[in-house]
Structure formats: C-alpha cells, structure tokens
Amino acid sequence: MQLDSESKMLARRRAANAEDLAKAKTILKSDLSVAFPELLRFNVFTKTLLEFLSIYGCSKDVLGATDGQLQQAMDVQKGRKSEEITVQNIKDLAQTSIGVSYRAAMVRDSAKAVLACQQRDEDLTKALVELENALHKRQMEILTSIPGIGEVTASHFLSEIPDIAQFATYQKLIAFAGTDPGIYESGDTSKNLRISKHGNAVLRKYLYLMADSCVKHNIVFNTYYHKKRDAGFPHRKAMVATMNKLVRTLHALLTKDEMYSL
C-alpha cells in the first residue's frame, strides 16, 4: 500500500512537471520571437539547440563568437550533430536577424529552464515505469498489450487505479474518472449533458491520452471513433465515447486477468 501511494505521488510529480515543461517552452518561444525570431523556423526544443541557446541567446551573441566556440556549443551530445541546422545556418540567420539583444538573457534563462524540465521528465518517467513494473508487472503487460497504450500512460493509469477490484463494474470506474454524462432533471424531463467531470481529473487526462493514441494505432478504437463521428458526434463527444469504450475494455481485461486480442 505504501509503494502504491509512492507511485501515485511520483506520477503526479511527473504530470506537474509536464505542465511546467509546456509553460517553459511557451516562454522560450516568446523570448526567441523578440531576440532571434529567425530560429523559430527550426525545432528549437532539441537538446542541441537548447544547449546552444543557453549560451547564445541572440544574433549579437552569435556574431561575437568564433566558429569554434559556436561548434563546441552545438556538439553537446557527445559528438552527435544536428542534421537540421548547422553553425553556418545560424551565422547566416544572425547576419540579417531583426532580433534585439536585450532579450538575450531571457532566452538563455528560458532555454535552461526547458532543459531542466526535460531532464526531470526523463528521470521521473524512468522511475515511474520501473516502479509500476515492479508493483504491477502483470497489469502493465495487460495494458500494454493494447495497441496504442505504452508503458508511460499505463503507469499513470495504474498509479491512480492500483487495484481494479475496488470497482465492481466498469460503470463505477467511469463515474470515478468523471466521464459519465451529467444528467439534467426538471419535472418529468431529463437529458444528458456534458460529462460530469466530478471524478479524478488526473485519471481522466490520461484516459484521454490513451484513447487518443488508440484511435491512431488500434483499428478497433479507430473504427469506433469514426463510427461516432459519422453518427454526427462532434470530436470531443466522440472522444468521450471512445474513452468509455476503453474503460470497459480495461476493466474487463484487468478483472479477468487477460491479455488484449483483436
């Protein structure tokens, strides 16, 4: 029980860091749009460019450095070089950049923040997956037997639902996740509204990610989603229906201790 609690805290820490990472990326793009906007045509979130930007935050910084210094900053990944951008590309962009140097310090700081979040994500993800494989090896095998569900999302699911036996029916699990429809009642009438969202918001987030991936990689869930869309469901409503189908599947497999098969 203590390790289950530890897993949940670890998963929640990883989820919080993912939000911090998304914010840090947004801030870096905002800073770059002022200091060195031309670089935004490239993927600035690679380790190579992040390390580079943590040293050279604007075109003025670039033009004030030697080719050797710039190359050294690009070669941070133990000799691996970026195939997307070179030192000469960056120098050429710096020559005609419309960026301003006063934002350079903020770019450097933002790049370091993204790098730190990325490193935390790697560390926390590894720890979470290792712990869940130690605690719930069989359940991990069952969940990842479903095309579209990987070890990371499976680990998050199990950190929130370590024992499926606490849910006698799949309906109880749906209610716990908060993907059951809200009901409006007035006099003799009632109608379904949007999902209740009264349940576990973290579980609901990862069920969505799992369902979204299953739609992309699992023919059964892809067919089900598009069937709902063809029936006139908007995307969000079709995804909720797909999430609930996934919950039914997960509940059945975990309860029966069976692997998934098409």
What's the distance, CA 142 to chain centroid? 22
H runs (alpha helix) in the chain:
2-35, 47-53, 59-63, 67-74, 87-95, 104-135, 137-143, 151-160, 170-177, 201-217, 219-230, 235-256
- CA–CA separation, 21 and 145 (whole Å): 29
Give me the pLDDT at residue 103, please: 97
Give me the pLDDT at residue 199, please: 80
Q: How many Cα atoms within 13 Å fall on the side-chain side of residue 158?
A: 29
Where in the chain do CATH 1.10.287 domains reside? Answer: 2-128
Give me the pLDDT at residue 141, please: 98
Give me the pLDDT at residue 54, please: 97
CATH topology of domain 2-128: Helix Hairpins (1.10.287)
Give me the pLDDT at residue 238, please: 95
Give me the pLDDT at residue 180, please: 78
Enter the tokens of residue 62.
């670039």
Mean pLDDT in consecutive groups of 10 residues from the start of the chain, 262 residues = 84 96 98 97 95 96 96 75 80 96 97 98 98 97 98 97 95 92 41 59 95 98 97 95 97 97 84
Give me the pLDDT at residue 191, please: 44
Do strands 189-195 and 181-186 pair parallel, antiparallel, or not at all (unpaired)? antiparallel
Give me the pLDDT at residue 256, please: 97
- CA–CA separation, 88 and 65 (whole Å): 12
Beta strands in the chain (DSSP E): 181-186, 189-195
Angle at which helix 201-217 crosses helix 2-35, to 10 degrees, equals 70
